[in-house]
């Protein structure tokens, strides 16, 4: 399975090495590190990786989570805590069908002390929480081991790649576009925008749009921008509009010129 493990700002080299080992144990190989706070090739990391030293050396480093997720079609966040203002985390087993069905899923893990911040979790369509006793915070590498175990066990027995979903890059661009239009038409304001967009992200992420469908949706947004006179807007008949998904065109819209 083409599963990526993303570590956001890890601090301890030993944890990164142990996470690499856990990945190799479970059959994952794509390690991505966002804004590391340590030298992830420190001798301590290599020692903890043991036979996974090559996997560790092959890790790719990104400046932002958004870049690390750009080519993925599903991002699963992890959290030790339940956050009052975000959708409740799910049990890893509940998400297995979703992860198995994705072509390019990513699992996102947070920094040792704080975990993922809300703006990271907002970039994940779903969040998992490993059930624990009262002390909920697992060691980073142990969390990687358990979550990978849930998704990678018996991977050969179950068919995967059942659908072709838009990448996170396409969806983030769609959400940025949606935010612009919401402001343009006064649907939301600076104070409520974040909450409003979270609700729309949750709704639209559930749809698991294809690339063509995300272009279809953005075509509608562009038409709104054009209609209310936003400057510099290319009308819906623009070159990147999915021709296989032509919308019903308006009588006097720019698409008919
Ligand atoms: N104190 C932080 C925990 C950080 S532990 C907090 O309360 O969120 C470092 C990372 O390990 C977390 O960001 C998460 O990715 C993972 N992790 C730790 N415990 C977990 C759990 N019970 N379920 C899911 N992930 C967990």
User: How many domains does one find in the chain?
Assistant: 2
Do 174 and 55 fall within a single domain? Answer: no
Residues 183 and 79 in one domain: no
Could you tell me if 106 and 138 lie in one domain? yes
Supply 246's token pair: 């032509």
**240 in any annotated domain:** no
Q: Are 22 and 50 in contact (CB under 8 A)?
A: no
CA of 251 to the centre of ligand 1 (A): 54
Within 6 A (CB) of ligand 1 lie 78-81, 109-110, 112, 114-116, 128-130, 132, 136-138, 140, 143
Q: Which atom of ligand 1 is nearest to the CA of 140?
A: 11
- Which range, of 33-37, 59-63, 83-87, averages the lowest pLDDT? 83-87
246: in domain = no
From ligand 1's centre to the CA of 29, what distance in Å?
Answer: 21
179 vs 231 pLDDT, higher one: 179
How does residue 157 score in pLDDT terms, banded at 50, 70 and 90? low
Examine the domain organization and report whether 76 and 136 are in the same domain. Answer: yes
- The whole-number average pLDDT for the span 206-228 is 94
176 in the same domain as 114: no
Closest ligand 1 atom number to CA of residue 137:
19
- Beta pairing, strands 60-62 & 30-34: parallel
Which of 65, 79, 142 gets mutated to test ligand 1 (max ligand atoms within 8 A of its CB)?
Answer: 79
φ, ψ for residue 174 (rounded to 5)?
Answer: -65, -45
Residue 226 lies in a domain: yes
Query: Which atom number of ligand 1 is nearest to the Cα of residue 115?
Result: 13
Tens-place pLDDT, residues 43-70: 999 999 999 999 999 999 999 999 999 9
Residue at 202 is within a domain: yes
Please give the mean pLDDT across all residues of the chain: 88
Q: Tens digit of pLDDT for each residue in 180-200?
A: 999 999 999 888 999 999 999
Q: What is the CATH number of the domain that holds 76?
A: 3.40.1280.10
Query: Does residue 51 form part of some domain?
Result: yes
Ligand 1 center to 142 CA (angstroms): 10
Please say if the pLDDT value at position 91 is more than 90: yes
Identify the pLDDT of residue 21: 98
Is 149 in the same domain as 183?
A: no
Q: Rounded to 5 degrees, what are φ and ψ at 102?
A: -80, 150
Q: Which atom of ligand 1 is nearest to the CA of 112?
A: 9
Helix axis angle, 168-184 to 193-206, nearest 10°: 140
**pLDDT, position 253:** 41
CATH of the domain at 209: 1.10.8
Say whether both 137 and 213 belong to one domain.
Answer: no
Contact 166, 211 (CB under 8 A): yes
Residues 91 and 124 in one domain: yes
Q: Does some domain include residue 99? A: yes
Q: Does residue 66 share a domain with residue 118?
A: yes
Q: What is the DSSP string of the chain?
A: ---EEEEES---HHHHHHHHHHHHHHT--EEEEES-SS-TTSHHHHHHHGGGHHHHHT-EEESSHHHHHTT-SEEEEE-SS--TTSPPPB-HHHHHHHHHH-SSEEEEE--TTT---HHHHTTSSEEE----SS-----HHHHHHHHHHHHHTTGGGS------PPPHHHHHHHHHHHHHHHHHTTSS-TTTHHHHHHHHHHHHHHTT--HHHHHHHHHHHHHHHHHTT-TTPPPTTSTTS-GGGPPPPPTTSGGG-
How large is the average pLDDT for residues 128-144?
A: 96
Question: Are 141 and 184 members of one domain?
Answer: no
Confidence grade of residue 244 (pLDDT, cut at 50, 70, 90): very low
Q: Give the C-alpha separation, 33 to 12, whole Å.
A: 12
139 lies in the same domain as 180 = no
Residue 246 has pLDDT above 60, yes or no: no
Stretch 194-216: mean pLDDT: 93
What pLDDT does 225 receive?
Answer: 94
In a domain, 178, yes or no: yes
pLDDT of 230 reads 65
Residues of the domain holding 108: 4-153
On whether both 22 and 141 belong to a single domain, the answer is yes
Residue 55 domain-assigned? yes
């Amino acid at each position: 399975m083409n599963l990526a493990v993303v570590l956001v700002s890890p601090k301890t080299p030993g944890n990164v090495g142990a996470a690499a080992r856990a990945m190799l144990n479970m059959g994952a190989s794509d390690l991505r590190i966002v804004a590391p706070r340590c030298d992830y090739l420190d001798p301590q990391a290599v020692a903890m990786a043991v036979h996974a030293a090559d996997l560790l050396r092959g890790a790719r480093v990104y400046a932002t989570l958004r870049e690390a997720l750009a080519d993925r079609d599903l991002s699963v966040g992890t959290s030790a805590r339940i956050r009052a203002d975000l959708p409740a985390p799910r049990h890893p087993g509940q998400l297995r069908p979703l992860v198995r069905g994705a072509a390019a899923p990513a699992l996102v893990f947070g920094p040792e002390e704080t975990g993922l911040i809300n703006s990271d979790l907002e970039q994940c369509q779903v969040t998992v929480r490993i059930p624990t006793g009262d002390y909920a915070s697992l060691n980073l590498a142990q969390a990687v081991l358990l979550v990978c175990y849930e998704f990678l066990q018996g991977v050969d027995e179950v068919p995967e790649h059942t659908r072709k979903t838009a990448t996170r890059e396409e969806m983030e661009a769609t959400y940025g576009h949606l935010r612009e239009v919401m402001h343009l038409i006064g649907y939301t304001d600076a104070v409520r925008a974040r909450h409003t967009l979270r609700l729309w992200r949750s709704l639209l992420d559930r749809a698991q749009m294809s690339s063509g469908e995300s272009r279809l949706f953005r075509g509608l947004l562009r038409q709104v921008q054009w209609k209310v006179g936003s400057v510099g807007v290319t009308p819906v008949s623009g070159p990147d509009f999915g021709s296989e998904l032509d919308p019903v065109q308006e009588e006097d819209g720019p698409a008919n010129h």
